[in-house]
Amino acid sequence: MPHSQEPQKIAEYSLSGLSTGRIEAFSDGVFAIVITLLVIDLKVPEIADDLVTDQLGPRLIELLPKLLSYALSFVIVGVYWVAHHHVFHHVERSDRTLLWLNILFLSSVTFVPFPTALIGEYSDQELAVVIYGINVVVTRLLLLMIWRYATKNHRLVAPGLDPFRVNAVAKLIAIPIGIYAIAIGFSLISTKVTLILYGVVPVVFSILPNVLNRRHPI
């Protein structure tokens, strides 16, 4: 009798899948590290004592591009964390493919500090701005892949999850990808316009209330 029950237990385990607890805990840890690393590029200016009064203000102004790149990336990484949190609120179980998709997503998130430092130093250079944009686009694409994989045929989500909600969340993730792509194209004309668009997108689509995220926040 015990032996006859064992295959049934294995089958039930296969259907139920792995839990998502460790994925979420590991991901939160990675996000915390990335958020911390963003500030490392901000260093207090070293000024001789007798020149502090005259030079502190100008030297702090010189840091403004790095401060702005830090603020931009802090918001974007924060948006990624919120989106990841909402996605996994609906994902009830995981499998090997989801684990690796999440690893790829986190690899793109952990890369953010590099292009952040790049635009902080070379915000007027098209290549630096394009690299930043590509990182943002790839990260969103990977999050979209996670959502699409988990929700296809309700593979890893509740059977009763509303298909309209599935599509609405996918749109919230996908629409900014197109806008970021357009912003990257604008770098040929003005890197400042591109950087402004990079900052506007998360505010409009994730922070400020709109028709989609009011009903389906992510």
pTM: 0.85
Tell me the pLDDT of the chain averaged across its residues.
87
Rounded average pLDDT over 18-38: 93
Q: What is the pLDDT of residues 183-192, one digit of tens each?
A: 999 999 999 9
Beta-bridged to residue 25, according to DSSP, are none
Phi/psi of residue 91, nearest 5 degrees: -80, 115
Distance CA 102, CA 192 (A): 32
Q: Under a CB-based contact definition with an 8 Å cutoff, are residues 213 and 202 in contact?
A: no
Write the DSSP assignment of 107-134 as a string of letters.
Answer: HHHHTTHHHHHHHHH-TT-HHHHHHHHH
Q: What is the pLDDT of residues 118-161, one digit of tens each?
A: 999 999 999 999 999 999 999 999 999 999 999 999 999 999 89
Q: Would you say residue 1 has pLDDT above 70?
A: no
Spans of all domains in the chain: 20-215
